[in-house]
Structure 1
Amino acid sequence: MKKIMLFALLSLCIYKARQDFGPKPILPPLYNEPYVAVYGRDSCGHTQRLLKGLKQQGIEPHYLNVDDMNIANSLHARMELQKIPTQRYDLPVVDVNASLEIRPTLASVQEQFLAQ
């Protein structure tokens, strides 16, 4: 009986790990050219610092305010496709050429954008 329970537990762990760490579905890009889309709020200091830093580095981001319910719903749909929880998350959420990241550093956004 212990072997059966151990096998069931191990199978469940492997299944869960594949869901969490397996390949993420590919998102459709928001734009036809390479882009950085920053989802955030006007009142969010992290969002505003990232936007300012990107502009200083010569990267013109697309800013999408999540206080607009249509934008928030679109973001949540994209997050769910990438298996990112939407119940509670930090801002900004950044989409670099159809790859989402929550509260990334300026350096990681630059690196990802310039790698394209």
Structure 2
Amino acid sequence: MKQGLLVIFLGFCLYKAWQDFGPKPALPPLYNEPYIAVYGRDSCGHTQKLLRELRQQGIEPHYLNVDDMNIADRLHARMEMQNIPTQRYDLPVVDVNASLTIRPTLASVQDSFLNQ
């Protein structure tokens, strides 16, 4: 009995680990050309800092304000496709050519954008 419960428990743990760390389904790109889409808020200092730094580097990102419920709903759908929890998350969420990251550094955004 105990061994059966242990096997079930281990199976459940492996399944959850696979969900969290396993392969993520491919997202459809938002645009036909290489892009950086920054999801954030006008009042978010982290969002505004990243937008400013990208523009200083000569990169013009697409800014999508999550205070618009349609944009927030689309972002959440994309996050769920990538198995990223949508209950609580930090801003900005950045989509570089259909690859999502939460509150990335400028260097990681540039690296992802330039190496894809």
Give the structure 2 partner of residue 108 of structure 1.
Answer: 108
Give the structure 2 partner of residue 65 of structure 1.
Answer: 65
- Residues 1-116 of structure 1: pairs in structure 2 closer than 5 A: 1-116=1-116
Instruction: Name the SS of the counterpart of 2:108 in structure 1.
Output: helix
Deviation at 1:84, TM superposition (A): 0.7
Instruction: Show structure 2 runs of 5+ residues with no match.
Output: none
For normalisation by structure 2, the TM-score amounts to 0.97
For normalisation by structure 1, the TM-score amounts to 0.97
Deviation string 1:50-69 (CA, Å, 9 cap, x unpaired) is 00000111111000001111
Amino acid of the structure 2 residue aligned with 1:83? N
Amino acid of the structure 1 residue aligned with 2:43? S
Deviation string 1:73-113 (CA, Å, 9 cap, x unpaired) is 11011011111111111100000000000000001000000
Amino acid of the structure 2 residue aligned with 1:60? E
Runs ≥4 residues deviating over 2 A: none
Instruction: Show structure 1 runs of 5+ residues with no match.
Output: none
- Counting aligned pairs with the same residue, the percent is 79
